[in-house]
Amino acid sequence: MPLDKINPAVAANVYSTVQKAGQGAGVAAGDGMSFGDMVKKVAKDSIAVMRGGEKTSAQAVLGKADLTDVVEAVTQAELTLQTVMAVRDRLLNAYQEIMRMPI
């Protein structure tokens, strides 16, 4: 999706969700979230957004959803998918760099 077609409100919402999930995250924080817990939470939130998009699309097929709701849900799902893919690519690149380090 070209950047000029991304809804800024949706992008800001996804950014704030990811930012809130990352607050207080550390490798072994005392009372905060661990990195693993943060990743699980973000993954669960991403899955929920994707399922919401599917549900709204299915309701549209049945004629029970408004077109603007469908467009918004699909846009959020697409933006979430792009974010997940970008994070995955960064994690794989980091892993590959670590594996290339000499011992």
> Whole-prediction pTM value?
0.61
Residue 29 reports pLDDT greater than 60: no
Confidence of residue 103 (pLDDT cuts 50, 70, 90): confident
Mean per-residue pLDDT of the chain: 81
Output phi, psi for 49, to 5 deg: -65, -45
Q: What is the model's pLDDT at position 25?
A: 47
Query: Which DSSP symbol is given to 6?
Result: S
Q: Return the higher-pLDDT residue of 30 and 16.
A: 16
- The two tokens of residue 35 are 């990195």
List of residues 6+ apart from 99 with CB closer than 8 A: none
